Chain A
Amino acid sequence: MKGNEAIAEAAIRAGCDGYFGYPITPQSEVMEYLMAEKPYETTGMMVLQAESEVASINMLYGGAGSGKMVMTSSSSPGISLMQEGISYMAGAQLPALIVNIVRGGPGLGTIQPSQSDYFQAVKGGGHGDYHMIVYAPSSVQEMADFVKVAFDAAFKYRTPVMILSDGAIGQMMEKVYLADPIPRLTEEKVIARCPWAATGKPATRSHNIITSLDLDPAGQEKLNLILQEKYREIEENEIRYEMIDCDDADYIFVAFGISARICQKAIHLAREKGIKVGLFRPITLFPFPKHQIRELGNKIKGFLVVEMNAGQMIEDVQLSVGCNIPIKHFGRFGGIIPTPDEVVNALETKIIGG
């Protein structure tokens, strides 16, 4: 199935309560699949086409604020429109899943795949000091798997979580093993999981308020400290990464998502030429696997950071590496996917011969 369809099917199977979205290429298949499957007749999952991405993200705020498991998906321009709502959800500490099937920008850009929303995804994106947990799948299988992983993390930490993919993986067809369906939570279980949520005040507790507002600076600083503590805990516990052919490597490609798939082919081409190169693939982009990259840096001769953007994740790699080895960037952008040959050539010219 397509990556976008895998997201949709995995959401139904994860026991998701509601999807809210607005059509945008290259991810419209997510809502199309859901509307065709009609999960509201089977699991009870609600699917609603909103009037805009602004409405979608605020529907997420409402759903998450009342304890339900809710998600949206969009692509770059639509995700930009959602930034206000994501910031509010981070401030109000609400769990939800946001899927960004990235296309080239800036502006209306192109409908072709890109990875140029890395900064927006991992550095906050909206206003205020916050992060989302960001998962970067590199296969259709991971598109499906990360839906449940993302929801679990969202509820564990009470935070919005993003799956940052791209138009290539969203549109790509691969074989997928789907998890067994998990039933949606009953009302009682929703209230038990989210005792903080606005679900209707029983006589046994005081009223629950969902807000990011605290006009008292001391109160607002306290909220910020709580958020920062949460992000440190996330950095401690939630880092995921993959290393391929790194054991004997002299050089390392650092790449996420579709770029990592291209780098796998580039590894074979380079090794045929006798260049020992491996791949480090961050799976979580926030938290970023900085210690793992730092350690790797001590054993090799150089990093080539391969991204479909003008150089974004390379900044996190540079911040991670403590020793003086070359760290260079190779990227294509505007919707162009680099070829493995281009990647090997960049390694030879920028790192080995550089």
Chain B
Amino acid sequence: MEEKFAHPELRTPENLVYQRTNLLVDRPLSYCPGCGHGVAHRIIMEVIEEKDILSKTIGVSPVGCSVLAYDFMDVDMLGAAHGRAPALATAIKRLWPNRYVFTYQGDGDLAAIGTAETIHACNRGENFTIIFINNGIYGMTGGQMAPTTLPGMRSSTSPYGRDTEIMGHPLQITELIARLPGTYYVTRQSVHTPAAVRKTKKAIRKAFDLQDEKKGISFIEIVSNCNSGWKLTPVQANKWMEENMFPAYPMGDIKVDGQLVK
């Protein structure tokens, strides 16, 4: 790899401003250009590397765009059936209480087919971390309406926009689980700007740290884009997300230290 650099002599620790984490497998991601999954993957792996907990970490991947997350994250992982990741993680964490356990799930996985598993794992106060990527659409299957699709938002199964009278309302699952006694830390973040990435990474680190305290679920929603599903360019998608998704899914902590914020 070294020969790729024109001036290898400049690659010294004091000159290092950024280094790819060793815990991301060196292969092309399967995600669309501009998608937030890659950044989310990276910062989770950075946290695991910085905390030096690789040998104590077990991840659970979902069904959806990130079904192959285990191909990119160089940690021990289980691929769950659609929506069932919190059930897997419940058993893993209870049987390996000294391990750090996380699930990585999309909106269809966590808030539609897996709603029961999500709510009950949260309500039991399991001691693992849920990373919830909410882009308001089913990306992998080709852009169908998701539980978090906004009113009026077009998708392949709401081609004229989500009509809430016919198709129901977006599910605010994060606000819902925050009210459960088993959740300890609930926050909503994004990864569309460098500042947002830093905040989200800090939240992920906090979520993993909290597993040591055994006080309940740490839950991080990352509102993300789906430029392919939304039929926008990556830049337009991020702007649309700020203007439309963020008002419906406001950024910031929802529950800290077991207490609802505000």
Q: Do A and B assemble together?
A: yes
Partner-B contacts on A (CB < 8 A): 17-18, 20, 46, 48, 50-52, 54-56, 58-63, 65-66, 68, 70, 84-85, 88, 92, 187, 197-203, 206-213
A-B pairs with beta carbons under 8 A, tally: 130
Do A46 and B84 form a contact, CB below 8 Å, given A200-B56, A201-B54? no
10 contacts between A and B (CB under 8 A): A18-B94, A55-B84, A55-B117, A58-B117, A59-B91, A63-B95, A84-B81, A200-B56, A207-B73, A211-B70
CA distance A70 to B94 in the complex (A): 12
Would you call A65 and B74 a contact (CB within 8 A)? no
**CA–CA, A233 to B84, complex, Å?**
32
Q: Is residue B19 within 8 Å, beta carbon to beta carbon, of the partner chain?
A: no
Provide the main secondary structure of the chain B interface.
helix
Further 16 A-B residue pairs, CB within 8 A, beyond A203-B54, A209-B78, A213-B68 = A50-B87, A55-B116, A58-B80, A61-B87, A62-B91, A68-B91, A70-B95, A197-B76, A198-B92, A199-B76, A199-B99, A200-B54, A200-B56, A200-B76, A201-B57, A202-B55
One of A52, A59, A63, A200 near B57 (C-beta < 8 A): A200
Contact between chains at B78 and A65 (CB < 8 Å): yes
B251 at the interface (CB under 8 A from A): no
> Whose C-beta in chain A lies nearest to the C-beta of B71?
A209
The 5 A-B residue pairs with the shortest CB-CB distance in the complex, in nearest-first order:
A62-B88, A211-B79, A58-B87, A62-B91, A198-B76
Tell me how far the C-beta of A175 lies from the nearest C-beta in chain B, rounded to whole angstroms: 34
In the complex, residue of chain B having the shortest beta-carbon distance to the beta carbon of A68: B95
- Give the number of residues in B that approach A within 8 Å (Cβ atoms): 33
B residues 58-79 touching A (CB-CB < 8 Å): 58, 60, 67-68, 70-71, 73-79
In the assembled complex, the CB of B61 is this many whole angstroms from the nearest CB of chain A, namely 8
Interface flag for B42 (CB, 8 Å): no
Interface flag for B90 (CB, 8 Å): yes
In whole angstroms, how far apart are the Cα atoms of A85 and B85 in the complex? 12
Q: Are A59 and B76 in contact, CB atoms less than 8 angstroms apart?
A: no
Residues of B within 8 A of A208 (CB): 76-77
- The one of B56, B68, B77 in contact with A210, judged by C-beta atoms closer than 8 angstroms, is B77
- Do A62 and B78 contact each other (CB < 8 Å), given the known contacts A51-B120, A68-B95, A209-B70? yes
Q: Is the CB of B58 within 8 A of A58?
A: no
Cα(A198)–Cα(B73), bound, Å: 13
